[in-house]
Amino acid sequence: GVAQEVSLMTNLPIINLQTQLNAMHTQLNAIQTTFDRFNIILDRMNTMLQALDMRSFARALNSRVNDPTADIQPLPNLQNQTPNTFPDNISQLHGLTGASINTLLSFYGLPSHGRLEERRKILAQYIGIKLL
């Protein structure tokens, strides 16, 4: 009867085609989601690479400073952000308080323990300063 005819409807080509199209649509959505995730990862990697390039460039410039009043370049962190406060030159680096040095060390993810001069040296080496 009618029940048997309805159960056979799933064998009709148009219904099977729609089921296949729905399955393909679901697979395409999953692929798109995967591509979106890869794009996010690539954007993060690009930001990190830009930060690494900027850090290398700033360190190279800072390593050539031989005048305590000459400008030094701030380094971005791995999120490509620069610190809110950064000494303009080596003389200002010498004048930083322990708290200011700790803030910069923390910003760069560096250890902030030890004597003030040790921490200052860690910061100077990290930003490429040879003259201290």
Q: Looking at 13-17, 74-78, 104-108, which range is the least confident one?
A: 13-17
Summarize the confidence of residues 16-36 as an average pLDDT.
Answer: 93
Count of domains forming the chain? 1
Does the pTM exceed 0.75?
no
89 forms bridges with which residues in the sheet?
Answer: 71
- For the CA atoms of 120, 115, 80, 78, the dihedral, rounded to the nearest 10 degrees, stands at 130
Would 131 be classed as within a structural domain?
no
Asked if the structure places residue 132 within a domain, the reply is no
Is pLDDT above 90 for 42? yes
Range of the domain at 51: 2-126
What per-residue confidence (pLDDT) applies to 12? 62
Domain membership flag for residue 75: yes
